[in-house]
Amino acid sequence: MEWKPLAKGLAHAVLQEGMTAFRIDLAENDLVPVEGKPLATVDALARGRGALLAVNGGFFDAQGRPMGLLVSKGRILSRLRRVEWGVLAVDREGRATVVHAKQWAATTGTLRFAIEAGPRLVVDGKPLTFKPQVARRTALGVLPGGRALVLVVTSTGLSTAALAELFAKRLGCPFALNLDGGSSTQLVSPLAGVPRISGKPVANAVLVLPRR
């Protein structure tokens, strides 16, 4: 696998046809959640914000309300749900972690970013097991040391188990978290060489912006 630079602190690799991974240096880039009120495509949510990259975020209900914790620069956009999901959080020092939602106890005011979704894919370097289920996928993994993330987006079907194995064994992520997927999976970027994946309107998107 060859990582090719896209911008400062951002590189990408094509894992297979229809599957792209992005390595994000958290010292150089911020993850910023954007809400869709009303629901909007990721392209619409990212427009005019200067994002290097934008993908769909977490799950939402039939009324278009985000389901689970969503934090932007210490501000809570959506409350935690203590369910069998996980929370991926980035603190002010740029360290990322993933914890079970029922064990979440961090002070949100100290966070740059947090998103709750599920299921967790990898815990302590071990891929978890899942029932067979194939869909388009968006997911985030924490690299060793917590200073960088890997984002994987697929435009073709992939099982949850295969995605977990990918993060644990091929990408070397000790922790990984599944985001919303299926027809919600979307990828938008102004950078050359990044494929565009279109999808349905969603309640929130995650943007990768250069850190200021």
**pLDDT value at 106 more than 90:** no
Q: How far apart are alpha carbons 94 and 66 in whole angstroms? A: 24
Q: Return the pLDDT at 109.
A: 80
Q: Report pLDDT digits (tens) over 86-102.
A: 999 999 999 999 999 99
The SS3 of residue 18 is: coil
| Domain regions of the chain by residue span | 4-61+116-210
Is the peptide bond between 174 and the residue preceding it cis, with omega within 30 degrees of 0?
A: no
Q: How far apart are alpha carbons 54 and 76 in whole angstroms? A: 20
Between β-strands 86-91 and 111-117, what pairing exists: parallel, antiparallel or unpaired? antiparallel
Count CB-CB contacts under 10 A for residue 22.
Answer: 23
Q: Retrieve residue 60's tokens.
A: 């939402």
Q: Report pLDDT digits (tens) over 3-27.
A: 999 999 999 999 999 999 999 999 9
Q: How far apart are alpha carbons 166 and 76 in whole angstroms? A: 31
**pLDDT value at 108 more than 80:** no
Q: Report pLDDT digits (tens) over 125-172.
A: 999 999 888 999 999 999 999 999 999 999 999 999 999 999 999 999
CA angle 156, 55, 46 (to 5 degrees): 135
Q: How far apart are alpha carbons 85 and 121 in whole angstroms? A: 10
Beta strands in the chain (DSSP E): 4-7, 10-16, 19-25, 29-40, 53-56, 70-72, 75-78, 86-91, 96-100, 111-117, 120-123, 126-127, 134-142, 148-159, 175-178, 187-188, 202-210
Environment class of 109 (CB within 10 Å of its CB; exposed 0-12, middle 13-18, buried 19+): exposed
Query: Which pTM was predicted?
Result: 0.96
